[in-house]
């Protein structure tokens, strides 16, 4: 399944979940305690922690699982769908299409959990009338399918190996879901024994969880601010070169996909992502007259232009968060045969990140409109890269680009 196909499936499933909720609510009605569960969507969706290398977590599973074991089936589907949409649209500023994808990703595990116990179509009571064993089994199905689906999405959308995802973001997602499952199951037992006690305790539990998770949200927000700041720097360069700003972001996306396809460690991928965004930051130190010159540069102007990788690396070097990426920027114009600049490095002596950024930079440049020519097709760009493979470009990186070009 490709990226577009998975996106369509998730979006359709998210939309279908909303239709199912509307129909079921009209047939069964909405009890006051179920409105409480829906109200808790807002605070649980607000606490959104973005994970590295992909994915995110919220506190919504605590309410989703409580609804799963205590409320009619459509309520747990509603909580999952609405929390995903609220989190994506209101708090992550994502378009509605992406929000529907998130809704599909969050409701599929609920549907599988309900279907696994035959409670999906049991509208009035759902799992509430089943034994604790069946409830526990449904929760395990929910947690497992949620992590697996997130891994599949990360693999198809971001090129992250499933094994890598499961050992990083997947592990955090599973731990979070299991912890929230224990909270939800505990509250459900209180409700089964003492009536509606669990419904009254749930808001207090959510407040406590928000306090506990808030530091992780702050760290996540700081990472987001960092990359937003780097994008702003790329936009600032746009004032000198109208082509560079968007090019930097697009080249970064290609470079990240290449790095993951080459199975580099995620720590290296992060460095490459930063370097690709900032690879032309050194143009700040080059005269705008030279950058925007419509004709060929003379030898003096060419020398000045060729200083931009060095200038860029020197700008980045003193900043601790950017230090590791600085060397990639310094050498992103080195050629595989040693004919590049600034150091004339050759072959594997060139940092792998620099070789990747060079290919991503060239591919995006060829396929983008420039002041002096129209964009060329992806196949034409690949033809150019093949022609200079082993000379200007690393053959292994070019071959990797050929393998993934269809999804770029």
Q: Per-residue DSSP letters for 18-77?
A: HHHHHHHHHHH---HHHHHHHHTHHHHHH--EE-SSS-EE-SHHHHHHHHHHHS-HHHHH
Q: Are residues 246 and 179 in the same domain?
A: no
Q: What DSSP letter does each residue of 177-229 carry, written as one string?
A: HHHHHHHHHHHHHHHHHHSTHHHHHHHHHHHHHHHHHHHHHHHHHHHHHHHHH
Q: Are residues 243 and 119 in the same domain?
A: no
Q: Are residues 271 and 392 in the same domain?
A: yes
Using one digit for the tens of pLDDT, what is the confidence trace for 58-76? 999 999 999 888 888 888 9
Beta bridge partners of 50: 56
The mean pLDDT of the chain is 88
Q: Are residues 128 and 182 in the same domain?
A: yes
Whether 256 has a pLDDT exceeding 70, the answer reads yes
Q: Per-residue pLDDT averaged across 283-296, rounded?
A: 80
Q: Residue 317 domain-assigned? A: yes
Rounded-to-integer distance, Cα 341 and Cα 281, Å: 16
Q: Per-residue pLDDT averaged across 171-176, rounded?
A: 94
Range of 122-131, 178-187, 381-390 with top mean pLDDT: 381-390
Q: Are residues 199 and 324 in the same domain?
A: no
Q: Are residues 209 and 242 in the same domain?
A: no
Q: Are residues 210 and 247 in the same domain?
A: no
Whether 247 has a pLDDT exceeding 80, the answer reads no
Whether 394 has a pLDDT exceeding 90, the answer reads yes
Range of 15-29, 293-307, 354-368 with top mean pLDDT: 354-368
SS3 373: strand
Q: Are residues 204 and 264 in the same domain?
A: no
Q: Per-residue pLDDT averaged across 171-193, rounded?
A: 87
Q: What is the dihedral of CA 360, 96, 230, 400, to 10 degrees?
A: -20
Q: Are residues 58 and 7 in the same domain?
A: yes
Q: Residue 300 domain-assigned? A: yes
Q: Are residues 285 and 359 in the same domain?
A: yes
103: containing domain: 3-214
Among 214, 229, 253, the domain boundary falls at 214
Using one digit for the tens of pLDDT, what is the confidence trace for 193-210? 767 776 788 888 999 999
Q: Residue 350 domain-assigned? A: yes
Count up the domains in the chain and report the number: 2
Q: Are residues 37 and 183 in the same domain?
A: yes
Whether 107 has a pLDDT exceeding 90, the answer reads yes
Whether 124 has a pLDDT exceeding 60, the answer reads yes
CATH of the domain at 321: 1.10.3210.10
Q: Residue 220 domain-assigned? A: no
* Burial status of residue 260 (CB atoms within 10 A of its CB: 0-12, 13-18, 19 or more): buried
- Label the pairing between strands 49-50 and 56-57: antiparallel
Beta bridge partners of 389: 393
Q: Residue 225 domain-assigned? A: no
Rounded-to-integer distance, Cα 35 and Cα 37, Å: 5
Q: Residue 35 domain-assigned? A: yes
Q: Do the Cβ atoms of 249 and 232 come closer than 8 Å?
A: no
Q: Are residues 290 and 368 in the same domain?
A: yes
Q: Residue 311 domain-assigned? A: yes
Its pTM stands at 0.84
Q: Per-residue pLDDT averaged across 9-21, rounded?
A: 91
């Amino acid at each position: 399944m490709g990226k577009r196909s998975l996106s369509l499936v998730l979006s359709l499933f998210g939309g279908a979940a909303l239709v199912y909720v509307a129909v079921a609510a009209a047939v069964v009605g909405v009890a006051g305690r179920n409105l409480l569960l829906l109200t808790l969507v807002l605070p649980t969706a607000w606490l959104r922690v973005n994970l590295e290398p992909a994915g995110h977590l919220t506190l919504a599973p605590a309410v989703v699982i409580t609804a799963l074991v205590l409320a009619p089936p459509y309520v747990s589907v509603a909580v999952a769908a609405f929390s995903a949409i609220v989190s994506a649209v209101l708090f992550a500023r994502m378009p509605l299409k992406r929000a529907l994808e998130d809704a599909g990703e969050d409701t599929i595990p609920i549907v599988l959990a309900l279907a696994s116990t035959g409670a999906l179509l049991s509208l009035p009571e759902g799992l509430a009338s089943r034994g604790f064993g069946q409830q526990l089994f449904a929760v395990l199905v929910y947690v497992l399918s949620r992590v697996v689906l997130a891994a599949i999405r990360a693999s198809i959308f971001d090129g992250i190996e499933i094994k890598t995802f499961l050992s990083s973001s997947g592990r955090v997602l599973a731990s979070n879901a299991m912890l929230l499952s224990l909270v939800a199951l505990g509250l459900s037992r209180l409700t089964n024994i003492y009536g509606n006690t669990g419904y009254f305790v749930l808001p207090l539990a959510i407040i406590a969880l928000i306090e506990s998770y808030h530091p992780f949200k702050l760290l996540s927000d700081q990472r987001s601010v960092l990359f937003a700041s780097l994008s702003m720097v790329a936009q600032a360069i746009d004032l000198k070169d109208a082509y560079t700003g968007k090019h930097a972001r697009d080249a970064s996306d290609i470079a990240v996909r290449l790095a993951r396809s080459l199975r580099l460690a995620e720590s290296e991928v992060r460095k490459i992502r930063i370097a690709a965004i900032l690879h032309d930051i050194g143009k700040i130190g080059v005269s705008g007259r030279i950058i925007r010159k419509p004709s060929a540069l003379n030898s003096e102007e060419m020398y000045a232009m060729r200083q931009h990788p060095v200038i860029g690396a020197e700008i980045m070097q003193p900043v601790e968060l950017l230090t590791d990426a600085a060397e990639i920027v310094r050498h992103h114009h080195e050629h595989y045969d040693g004919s590049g600049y600034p150091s004339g490095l050759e072959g594997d002596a060139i940092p792998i990140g620099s070789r990747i950024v060079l290919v991503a930079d060239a591919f995006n440049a060829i396929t983008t409109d420039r002041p002096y020519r129209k964009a060329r097709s992806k196949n034409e760009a690949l033809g150019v890269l093949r022609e200079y493979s082993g000379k200007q470009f690393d053959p292994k990186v070019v071959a990797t680009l050929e393998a993934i070009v269809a999804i770029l």
